[in-house]
Amino acid sequence: MALKLSFLAMLLFLLLASTTKAHASVFDVTSATYGAKPGSYVSKALAKAWSDACASPSASKVVVPSGTYKLKEATFRGPCKAPIEMQVRGTLQAPANAGQLTRPDTWVGFQYIDMLTLSGGGTFDGQGALAWSQNDCHKNKNCKPIPVNLRFEFLTNSKVQDITSLNSKNFHMHVFRCNHTTFQHLTITTPDESRNTDGIHIGASTGINITHAKIGTGDDCVSIGDDSHQITVTDVTCGPGHGISIGSLGRYKEEKDVIGIIVKNCTLTNTQNGMRIKTWPDSPSPSIASDIHFEDIIMVNVSNPILIDQLYCPYTRCDQKPPSKVKISNVSFKNIKGSSFTPLAVKLVCTRGIPCENVELTDIDLPTVETKALLPLCVLMSSPQLRA
């Protein structure tokens, strides 16, 4: 009997110790340890809370409670000793003047972390209006760097969910060298006149999943750059914006291939483009864009619903330049329905030098908004290998 009581006492002790340890793994920036208060700057408190949480040998959570906090800038760096979550329940507010940031291309960054979760239902407010008025990147390829709201670099096995990115000065989320990371239940918002405010841009990453997101910006809702593999975009509502884009590709030396992209069950409303693949002419190096599939897409009043453009060139005229060296192949557009704002529903601009191959168009139903008439297919430059 005594042995049994001792065993039960030991179990109770372990349970209490475990509970205490679990509570100790929550790092609230408004606690007495860190001292943050709504309405004031939270930079130092967040940095200290992150440092302590990242050093914890057990799973930890950094909490930003409800309220509005000023955040000059922050970079949260790993590796951490255990899985870590940052739970932002309130609003973090960036300086309106980008010149106050010491890292000119980033407001909030996460680097070199395995098993990160960013969550909480809170908002990252980039206060980007001033930056939009000063942004000349649409006409100046040597423009000054502009801060991204959230930059994710070298993450693995991570999740970004249930947060809002508001009024970013530049891209809302920039994903680079990340593997097996999911972005879900996101709200991304800037007005349509804001330039270069891509919702989520992905580059040099593998196994990225974007799902259940509402994105409205002044640029691409989702853009996928070179060296991206096995990217899935599902259940995304896009608009306003420039649509969902692969590229632009082929602008820089030694760009790597883009292979294995699926975009499915998305709705685009009042966007400049729908599903787009864009590559630069006069590419300095050859590369491949292959196994790209768009399926079950609804277009509402979209100007260029389906577009492959191998003469993408927003700065100067490109019609006299050598063709793109990006080989586009094994692309499908299936069950694309809704309405087009322009008289041209499908536009394929494929170069003579390296033409598109195996482009499949199936169940395309895109009448004009006014006439409800079916729209023509336009193929410019060379005729790609089409399957219908």
Residues classed as catalytic = 242
Phi-psi region of 239 (alpha: psi -120 to 50; beta: other; left: phi over 0): left
User: Is-cis flag, bond preceding 240, omega within 30?
Assistant: yes
Distance CA 116, CA 114 (A): 6
Distance CA 237, CA 212 (A): 8
The kind and range of the H/E element at 189 are strand 179-189
Which class for 73: exposed (0-12), middle (13-18), buried (19 or more C-beta within 10 A)?
middle
SS3 track for 266-329: EEEECCCEEEEEEECCCCCCCEEEEEEEEEEEEEEEECEEEEEECCCCCCCCCCCCCCCCEEEE
Other CB atoms within 10 A of residue 322 CB: 11
DSSP string, 108-174: EEEEEEESEEEESS-EEE---HHHHHH--TTT-TTPPP--EEEEEEEEEEEEEES-EEES-SS-SEE
- Bridge partners (DSSP) of residue 201 are 174, 223
Q: Which of 202, 198, 270, 197 is nearest to 230 (CA)?
A: 202
388 vs 183, 191, 340, CA distance in Å? 33, 37, 20
Q: What is the dihedral of CA 381, 202, 204, 124, to 10 degrees?
A: 150
Q: In Å, how far from its chain's centre is CA 343? A: 30
Distance CA 29, CA 154 (A): 25
293 vs 63, 175, 214, 301, CA distance in Å? 39, 21, 21, 22
